[in-house]
Structure 1
Amino acid sequence: MVDERVERRVAVIMATDIVGYSRLMEADETSTLDAVKRLQASILSPNIAARGGRIVKLMGDGSLVVFSSAVEAVDCAISLQEELVSDQKDVVLDDRILFRIGINLADVVIEGDDLLGDGVNVAARLEASAEPGGICIADIVHRQLGAKCRLDFRDGGEIALKNIVRPVHVWHWGHAPMAGPSTSSPAARTSIAILPFENSSGAPDQDFFSDGITEDIIGGLARFRSLSVIAASSSFSFRGKAVGLREIGIKLGVTYLVEGSVRRSGERIRITAQLVEATSGKHLWSEHYDRSVTDIFAVQDEVTKMIVSTLVGQIESADVRQALRKPTTSLAAYEFYLRGLVHMRSYGADDNHQAHMMFGAALERDPQFALAHAYLALSMIALHGYANAPRDILDAALALARKAVLLDEGESGCERLLGLIHTNRREFDLAERHYRRAYQLNPNDANTLVQMGGLLARRGKIEEAMRWIDEGFRLNPFPPPWYSATLGNALYILGRYGEAAAALNELPNPGPFTCARLVACYAQAGDAAATDEAKARLLRLCPDFSTEDFINRGLLLERPEQRELFRQGLLKAGLPE
């Protein structure tokens, strides 16, 4: 028997795969096979050969290639992707062939014509982590590149790879084309880089403070898993360089940039921040914060939280506007999700139904989209009256929300919405547990703070509730209307009836339950004219209104004395028992 040649050496492994290959084959097998063979012969093989690579395996939907140089491997990958974009530009979006490419450097075993070892598996997992039309490389590969080429990649941080014990630090090519509707997924998250805040004080010893602000904002935004935040090491690399914002955006591969400055004068400090759309240079939002520096680190923490929470809202709004500008034929899972959020936060008669459809469409395109599962659960109970939804609807919503948490255990939004589902099921202990988990995952999410405050108010922990609600309003000074509903309910329980009525009047298109709360507020405040007006409006909406039905169906209150307080207000207004 002749022994097969076995060789062990350090090599650079490139794994490629065709995005949506099964879908393309199902749609048109003959055309897909012809197109793949043509691309392998005209683009893949020539580029690999020109850079000293060797194709170890060539499958229908991908390849495994070995190089002796990381620089050559990355150069080959970039050339492949750029030539593919040019080749496919005239092809209908849904029929385009896109590659994902992953590159690793590791010790491998070459056995005959085969390539073996954990390093090969990592390359395959990196390929799966790449964006459609993108390249994902291991940090060890990134370190081999020249300074210019390194700038073409954005820091993806450490990620867990399937069946790989240790997390791997990865970098993503910043010029991947936007994926089509059948290939996109929430992995293509909104990307943002925070540039180092300028120290405008003229005192070099204050650099630590401006740098600290910048790094805290990066850390705070990174807690929102719907965002892809560039690491400080990358964004700080542009400090002091004459590079325009558009070029920085291209090099970092981000949609948005944040820039700002810190100026200290005596015992006062001014911090400015602004959000910029990278490609156009358009300023989307700006704000300044003037504070005393009595406790400089407390100021840093406070301003960081406010910038982070406001930025998230601004980024989300900009994303929604951008998504709605695109034709419906090119919407991907994330864009359906954004459309669902628009409807979920609106108060039109058909908005809950539209939101439910949008979140369902997002899941059709990516069944593993955790937040789409969570918001589908919310839209489901919203369609059926929230806590008054039939038991089978509440059960189905709970199953969806639990699945969302399982799909992404680090997403605070999923934990928060699971808490909300438990609240509407009147499972207050479980709701509080999940809200607290959501807060631990992301203390910058104002929605979690306000919803937690609303729950604590319902549980009779009113002083603690107001602290949570006040902090939520502080972090989100331009909140959605439902914040006012939560605040109004808490203020009523506190006996601050006039303030409660003012909060509830912020709600657009109030329904019967909100109108009933307003009646109770005015009656308890002793405002007879306002009571009569609100009562008339309530009875127009709900001619057969009964206090008992409202107490049992319209209130999610744990303590009997709170329910009695609402009963007294409604009966004082002369509404039927």
Structure 2
Amino acid sequence: MMEQTSSRLRRRLSAILFADMVGYSRMMAMDEVATTMAVKSCVEMFTALAGDFSGQVIGTNGDGVFLIFDSSVDAVSFAVEIQKRIKTLNEGISEDKQTLFRIGINLGEVIIDDVDLHGDSINIASRIEAFAQPGRICISGAVHDQVSNKLAYGYEYLGAQEFKNIRELIDVFQVHEDPAAATLTTGMRRPARASEYGRDGQSKEQSIVVLPFGFQGNDPSESWFADGLAEDVTTNLSRFHDFFVIARGSAYVYNDRTIAPRDVARELGVRYVVDGSVRKAGPRIRVALQLLDARRDRTIWGEQYNREIDDIFELQDEITQVIVSATAVQIEASELERLRQQPPTSLAAYGYVLQGQGHIFRYTKDDVRRARELYDSALAIDPSYARALAAKSRTLNIDWRYDWAERPEVALDDALSLARKAVEFDSTDARGFGELGFAHLYRKEHEAAINAYERALRLNPNDADLMSDMADALAHCGRSEEAIDMLHKAMRLNPFYPDQYIWHLGGAYFNLERYEEAIRTIQTMQNPTEGRRLLAASYGHLGRKAEAQAEARKVLDAHPNFSVENWAAVQPDKYEEDVARFVEGLKLAGL
């Protein structure tokens, strides 16, 4: 709706979309004519499709397109459709020649004069676009608020970002076309403060977060090395019982934020922060690290390491021991030795696994497939590399869970086999036992599942995702009260916890017939789509027919082929009465 504010200026609330081609300069250098024609074809597609979604192309600039829409729903729907069409155009084209766009969307007022559009909302949209992965869509918190309950997509929280000349922090989300997979991605939880969680004194005293390490090097595609090193330091620290270690997912929310480490510590409610950078040049690496005591607001340790890249595993152990010593945690030498992981026989295998981790955490079908290819490359070099075996097992679990597997009837069997091999080759790695527990659970081998999870958490008592998975297993085994306690601990360790934790918590309340609490819990999901089955069943049992039927319709909107009987067969509950209660609730809702 236009509002006349002067003879020349008008204001309009709009959804603003920026799209920018990935690797434009590189592709122009390779083939100017082909690249120009490809961009021209895509811009024509943007223009032709925009009108179907109340949109209008305002301008183009070489490799970029600027559009406005009447609503956020229209803008996001358009963006998803355009990315699908571009993906189709790229079929059969080698990766280095594909035309890919990043898209950013914001909602806000624009000022319109006789010749142009102006306003901070436009600047924000253009900066959000830079956060998107190639072929993906990022949106602001304002857009998320408008679309999260209206569009059956998923939304991954990328953190509250600070933009130049913009006074307020801007929440940024990445859109997932598959809402189910988005239940595993980082969520926006506020406030993420220690005082909210009631930690005991020891946790506050020995609490720590390892921030993502910055990468400096000639080849940005090697940034996975810095991410992997930070993740490994986090894992090494989290295996000590005396530490309270913030999960990798929550730390990664700060990857692109220019925020002081002491402020991160306050947000996460921890005492210590590890911050650093990695420079890789050929066979050598330089790692600069510092350890901040946020309580005393001082750096208590800083070091720069210049090593051959082949020394990376010794360097990880050295960094871990220095951090432990600097924070005055007493660890016996025998425990340090017991907790040491088995390194691969080849550094190349380790590199493939680190690159795979960069894909698997994105939780898309294509990324999970790419991660598995990288893990296979690692295993081709070192067939006994336990970490690669466990990671590949996880990809099969994800494929099975979200119906991506080409052969779902054997996916869990293969996942189980890989997890068994992982624990056989390295009995000190919690990941293998976690995958073993998951595979056993969905094969309805309940005692074996719980035993595997218990072994995993003895090896890594700070792994929040393992806790969430084990809590789900406990709930399916009739031990929902224990599950609830474990999930609350997982949420303390992972303050930006994914919706999966909430889903598991809601399921535990449902099993205890605490339907009101189940509803309140599921309603806090960032991506509500996958929680609607529990909402429908809970409303059904409470006799709130209209609300139950409304949720049932939304279940069918997202999953038109949904079948109560099929879902009941997938549920891994130990006791038939738990399955029957859920089925009854769904049927009361009209499913």
- TM-score, normalised to structure 1, is 0.43
Q: Flag the structure with more relative contact order, 1 or 2, with Cα contacts below 8 A and sequence separation at least 6.
A: 2
- TM-score, normalised to structure 2, is 0.42
